Amino acid sequence: MGAGWGASDWLAYPPSKDFATQQANVGRKGSWRAEGMSAVPASVQPRCSTSNDARISRLMSLLSSKRAAPGATGPTSNLEFPPAAHDIFLGKRRGDGNNTTCNIRGLRLCQSGGLEVFCMLKNRFIQRWGGGAIERWGIGAIAAFQLWQLSEHKDADVVRLIRRIRRERKSLQSAFEAFYVYSLAKTQSRLPGELAEVGVFEGATARLICEAKGDRALHLFDTFCGLPPDSDKDLGIHRIHQYACDRRSVETYLAGYDRICFHEGRFPESTLDLPEQTYSFVHLDVDLYESTKAALEYFYPRMTPGGAIVSHDYSMLAGVQQAVDEFFAHKPERPIEQPTTQCVIFKQ
């Protein structure tokens, strides 16, 4: 194929000389089809003129010209798009074709604003191994693609920072998620109020927030002996004491930053001695229903107007999603779901 093919294109659709075989796949379950007025779905049409998007544009023209069904024109073109990546890698898919009901989302191909690959691991078996080799390998692979994409158009120093932190600490955040945490913390640190994170583990996202916070104080809450017991809302995915990390190791890692306050212990008990203050940015990464609920109950009334609470794993972990949805069901704010696993709420 031409120079337009990158590594992620091979993941999405290993190129084949046999276009007839590909055309025979038209209508196969899980295949992608052209949408609307264009042979290329709106969600994947090139959007701006970065070099990355220019490459994608070339790729899409190539696909359009070579893969349209014979005789097909315009809006009803039978252009066949790549099968979902998990069809290729896992060889199976359960569900009725509606992605939200797929049990194995596995490595899933998404196209968004000219960035072509985003993979998700949403399988309870894999999640039970959370923090283990499978999930870390999966997220590491995702992060590698995402870092490549970010490096096309984001500040090189921020991309380098995310890459370095990934090398230095274990983390289950994708590169897009890490970027979002950094970017939001930086913006929010201009508002009055302090910053906080509940769920620190080895300090990967805490380090990003440290880089973004300027002279604001950052409060870090964790048991530092891993997850507390889960509830039935968490579907048995996690193990008690999973993600244990010695507090001293995190203190050493963040030693170069001022105004970092560690609050060791189970949240919300760890807030008992905390003086009253307001917050402009809170990052929740606690994995569990009860912990998420407790954190929202504590922080929501203390948020500065315009302050942001961002939660990791909103679209990945049932307990987290339930806690957020229940909490905001009768509040004026609504959780804004991100293309990543995160959701964000801005206090009115």
Instruction: Using the minimum distance from each CB to ligand SAM, give the nearer residue, 44 or 227.
Output: 227
Instruction: Using the minimum distance from each CB to ligand SAM, give the nearer residue, 13 or 267.
Output: 267
Supply the minimum distance, in Å, between the C-beta of residue 168 and ligand SAM.
11
Q: Which of residues 245-284 bind ligand SAM (CB under 6 A)?
A: 266-267
Is 316 a residue that touches ligand SAM (CB under 6 A)? no
- CB environment 104-123: b (16+ within 10 A), e (fewer): bbbbbbbbeebbbbbbbbbb
Distance CA 213, CA 192 (A): 12
User: Which residue matches tokens 């609050």?
Assistant: 263
Query: By C-alpha distance, which of 323, 296, 309, 139 is closest to 230?
Result: 323
Q: How many residues bind ligand SAM (CB under 6 A)?
A: 23
Question: Which residues neighbour 249 within 8 Å (Cβ) at sequence distance 6 or greater?
Answer: 202, 203
- Single residue of 53, 222, 230, 234 touching ligand SAM by CB under 6 A: 222
- Single residue of 285, 296, 319, 320 touching ligand SAM by CB under 6 A: 285
Distance CA 175, CA 118 (A): 10
Q: Which of residues 145-174 bind ligand SAM (CB under 6 A)?
A: 171-173
Contact 210, 218 (CB under 8 A): yes
Per CB under 6 A, the segment of 68-76, 92-100, 222-230, 316-324 that binds ligand SAM is: 222-230
Instruction: Using the minimum distance from each CB to ligand SAM, give the nearer residue, 58 or 266.
Output: 266
Is 226 a residue that touches ligand SAM (CB under 6 A)? yes
Contact 42, 35 (CB under 8 A): yes
Instruction: Using the minimum distance from each CB to ligand SAM, give the nearer residue, 295 or 345.
Output: 295
Query: By C-alpha distance, which of 212, 151, 156, 203 is closest to 180?
Result: 212
Contact 238, 230 (CB under 8 A): yes
User: Which residue matches tokens 């293309």?
Assistant: 339
Is 342 a residue that touches ligand SAM (CB under 6 A)? no
- Single residue of 145, 243, 299, 300 touching ligand SAM by CB under 6 A: 243
Supply the minimum distance, in Å, between the C-beta of residue 238 and ligand SAM.
9
Q: Which of residues 175-204 bind ligand SAM (CB under 6 A)?
A: 199-202, 204
Instruction: Give the number of C-alpha atoms closer than 13 A to the C-alpha of residue 271, restricted to the C-beta side.
Output: 16
Is 140 a residue that touches ligand SAM (CB under 6 A)? no
Binding site for ligand SAM (CB under 6 A): 171-173, 199-202, 204-205, 221-223, 226-228, 243, 266-267, 285-288, 291
